[in-house]
Every structure is written in structure tokens, then in C-alpha cells.
């Protein structure tokens, strides 16, 4: 008999802890926490989550103390997702768990690190940070007597697997993490829960806005350049009136704060319209949809496209950022080559019993912080 939780506030189509599909490995339920709260706690207490504090978001972690890291980004995503979930009558705890875990598979040096590690692994199944997150929570983390991984609920795993939507082609996943590990409990071709959709869109809101803030802080572009983004330009006009009375950092904070709020309100409004149109009677009605329900309006999508193009030109392709990324790529490529020759010196031999050495080496490199990777590179190059 499943335990009942105080979930009367949830909508009929929300994910409910009292009707959770359970875990891969059966465990006794907690007397004081819901299954999704336990997922959140397991993620927070994992080694992989802690290492996110020294992993690049855009700027290499050694550059300054105030730029976003994967850890601060994940925390910001979780808070946006909780806000959306609470207002829409969905499960905040599940949103938080998925949001906190979604970037655990990232390499050092951000997407540049992922790109070069994927190239290193091109003949061995490739590398993908979303799939690596699943490897971490299902295989790599080792803290329990009876199983490897964190043994998260099916709902949390489902949200992590479908961070970018349903999985139509599982071949690349099966190459890196065997489908059988989920024991046929995941329906890969169905749409994810609303909570998973909230986590994904909260990720978009967080990184687009906070990359703008970090870019301004790093002086990769200035406020005048940002005026070229029409959506933000309108918000800037009223705040720039205060530049004589407040520091630049305060004004920037207020601009970013308002853009995030506008996006959150847009998601709420558009999602409510979508829900009204399909009128779901249960969570099963959510799973069988052929499109996202939690989404931006058409006008906000245009705004986001404009912001992304601005960031691409002025930040991601900025010479300073590109040079740092290239150095990161060099570090990872060199580490991979050297570890192929001398992996026994650095990695426990028991890890190589069940999987190819290339995959274990990729796990090892992906788990490094920026600083650890740089220091190891300096020692073995």
C-alpha cells in the first residue's frame, strides 16, 4: 500500500509522490520525506553535484569568484522551476530534483569541453552530457550497499532522460548507457511530465538571462550594445534613468531581474492557455501529447531567439571566451591521450572490469573540475 502525502493542492495532472512509479531497485519509503524530496537530497549529497561548484558555465572557474558555475546555475534553475510549479499547481519537489541534477554530466570547460571529449570518443560511442548525467545517477555514484547510482525515482529519471523531449532514437543512448538498466520502466517515446517540462524551460530562462549578466560583468559587451535587443531595450529604458543614483551593478541586476520575471509570467500565461485547450484529466493525458505544454508564447520565442543571437555574437564567439575554450579543449584532449596510455596510475583498476577503458576514462575526465583538469594536465603533459 502506497503512503499518502498532503497533495490536495496539486492539479489532477500533476506528478504525485503518493502515486510514484517507484525506483529501479525497491526501497523502504521514508517516514518524513516524500520520494521526490529524497531524490533531491541524494542529488545534493552526491560527489558529482558538489564538483559542479568548480565547473565552467561560460567562464573558466579560475577567472573570478562572481561568475556563474554549473552549481549556481543549477540552483537558479531549481528556484525558477519551483516558482512555476507552485503557481501552476504542480509538484515543486520533483521540479527541484530534476533541475538540480540536469547538469551533473557536464565536463570541465563547459560545452567546449563536451565537444572535444565527444571527438575523443567518436570511435567509442561518443560523449553527451545529458546521457552522462544518467550514467552518474544510475551507475557512477557509489554510496549504497545494495546498488550503484542514486536509485532515483522513475519520475526524476524520466525528466532527466527527456530534458529535450521524447527519445525517438535510443541507439546513441544504448551505446553509452544500456537501456536495460531501466528495466522497462521508462517510456522513452512519450512526452515528459509537466514538472520535467518546467525544469527544461527554467534552464532556458536561467542561462539566457544570467549569461547576459555575466557578459556585462566581464565587459564582453556594454549596455549600449545590449540596446540592440529590442525586448531588453524596452526594459532598460526605465532602469537607466536611475544610473545617477545607483551603481551600474544594481541597475544591471534590476534589468535581468525584470527580464526573468517577464519570461516566467509568459510561461505561466501560455501554459495555462495550453492546459485549457487540451483539458487533461490525469497525468496520462500529459504523457500522450505530441507537443510541449509548458512553453513560451510565439512573441517570447522571438525575443529569446534575438537574445541567443546576441549572446552568440557578443559572448560565445568573443575572442577572449574562444581562446579560453580552446585552451580547455587542449587540456581535455591531452588528458585523454595520456590516460589511454597510463590510466592505471590515476584510475582504480576495478572500474575497468565491466566497461571499455575509453568509457571509464571519459567518465574520469567528465567528472573533473576545471581546476583539477588544469592541474593534472600541468603534471602529466
* Amino acid 179: pLDDT: 61
The verdict on residue 203 lying in a domain is yes
Is residue 131's pLDDT more than 80? yes
pLDDT digits (tens, 9 = 90+) for 159-175: 999 998 888 877 777 77
Is residue 101's pLDDT more than 80? yes
Statement to judge: residues 185 and 201 lie in one domain: no
Statement to judge: residues 36 and 182 lie in one domain: yes
CA 318 to the chain's CA centroid: 24
Residue 60 — pLDDT band, cuts 50, 70, 90? very low
Dist. CA 125–CA 190, nearest whole Å: 25
Using N-to-C axis directions, what is the helix angle for 92-101 and 35-44, rounded to 10°? 30
Closest CA to 200 of 296, 324, 330: 296
Residue 86: CB atoms within 10 A of its CB come to 13
Statement to judge: residues 201 and 239 lie in one domain: yes
Dist. CA 20–CA 233, nearest whole Å: 45
The verdict on residue 8 lying in a domain is no
Mean pLDDT over each residue of the chain, to the nearest integer: 91
pLDDT digits (tens, 9 = 90+) for 279-299: 999 999 999 999 999 999 999
* Amino acid 169: pLDDT: 78
Q: How many domains does the chain have?
A: 2
Which of 63-67, 96-100, 179-183, 342-346 comes out lowest in average pLDDT? 63-67
The phi and psi torsions of 302 (rounded to 5 degrees) equal -65, -40
Q: What CATH number does the domain containing 60 carry? A: 1.10.3210.10
pLDDT digits (tens, 9 = 90+) for 342-379: 998 999 888 898 889 999 999 999 999 999 999 999 99
Cα dihedral: 379, 114, 138, 24 (round 10): 180
Residue 243 — pLDDT band, cuts 50, 70, 90? confident
Statement to judge: residues 355 and 236 lie in one domain: no
Q: Which range marks the domain in which residue 252 is found?
A: 197-310
Statement to judge: residues 246 and 276 lie in one domain: yes
pTM above 0.75, yes or no: yes
Amino acid at each position: 500500500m502506497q503512503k499518502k502525502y498532503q497533495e490536495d493542492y496539486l492539479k489532477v495532472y500533476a506528478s504525485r509522490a503518493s502515486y510514484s512509479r517507484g525506483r529501479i531497485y525497491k526501497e523502504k519509503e521514508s517516514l518524513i520525506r516524500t520520494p521526490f524530496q529524497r531524490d533531491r537530497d541524494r542529488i545534493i549529497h552526491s560527489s558529482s553535484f558538489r564538483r559542479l561548484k568548480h565547473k565552467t558555465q561560460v567562464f573558466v572557474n579560475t577567472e573570478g569568484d562572481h561568475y556563474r558555475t554549473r552549481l549556481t546555475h543549477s540552483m537558479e534553475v531549481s528556484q525558477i522551476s519551483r516558482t512555476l510549479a507552485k503557481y501552476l499547481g504542480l509538484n515543486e519537489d520533483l521540479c527541484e530534483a530534476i533541475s538540480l541534477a540536469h547538469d551533473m554530466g557536464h565536463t570541465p570547460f563547459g560545452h567546449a569541453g563536451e565537444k572535444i571529449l565527444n571527438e575523443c570518443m567518436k570511435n567509442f560511442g561518443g560523449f553527451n552530457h545529458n546521457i552522462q548525467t544518467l550514467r552518474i545517477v544510475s551507475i557512477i555514484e557509489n554510496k549504497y550497499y545494495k546498488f550503484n547510482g542514486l536509485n532515483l525515482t522513475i519520475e526524476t529519471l524520466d525528466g532527466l532522460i527527456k530534458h529535450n523531449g521524447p527519445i525517438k532514437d535510443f541507439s546513441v543512448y544504448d551505446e553509452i548507457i544500456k537501456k536495460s538498466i531501466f528495466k522497462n520502466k521508462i517510456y522513452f517515446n512519450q512526452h515528459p511530465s509537466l514538472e520535467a517540462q518546467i525544469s527544461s524551460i527554467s534552464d532556458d530562462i536561467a542561462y539566457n538571462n544570467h549569461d547576459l549578466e555575466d557578459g556585462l560583468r566581464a565587459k564582453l559587451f556594454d549596455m549600449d550594445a545590449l540596446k540592440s535587443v529590442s525586448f531588453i531595450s524596452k526594459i532598460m529604458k526605465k532602469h537607466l534613468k536611475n544610473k545617477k543614483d545607483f551603481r551600474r551593478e544594481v541597475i544591471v541586476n534590476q534589468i535581468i531581474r525584470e527580464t526573468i520575471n517577464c519570461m516566467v509570467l509568459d510561461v505561466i500565461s501560455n501554459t495555462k492557455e495550453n492546459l485549457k485547450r487540451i483539458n487533461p484529466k490525469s497525468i496520462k493525458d500529459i504523457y500522450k501529447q505530441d507537443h510541449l505544454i509548458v512553453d513560451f508564447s510565439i512573441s517570447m520565442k522571438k525575443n529569446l531567439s534575438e537574445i541567443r543571437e546576441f549572446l552568440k555574437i557578443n559572448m560565445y564567439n568573443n575572442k577572449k571566451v574562444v581562446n579560453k575554450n580552446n585552451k580547455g579543449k587542449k587540456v581535455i584532449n591531452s588528458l585523454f591521450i595520456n590516460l589511454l596510455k597510463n590510466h592505471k596510475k590515476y584510475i582504480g583498476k576495478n572500474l575497468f572490469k565491466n566497461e571499455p577503458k575509453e568509457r571509464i576514462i571519459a567518465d574520469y575526465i567528465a567528472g573533473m573540475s576545471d581546476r583539477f583538469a588544469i592541474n593534472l594536465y600541468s603534471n602529466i603533459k
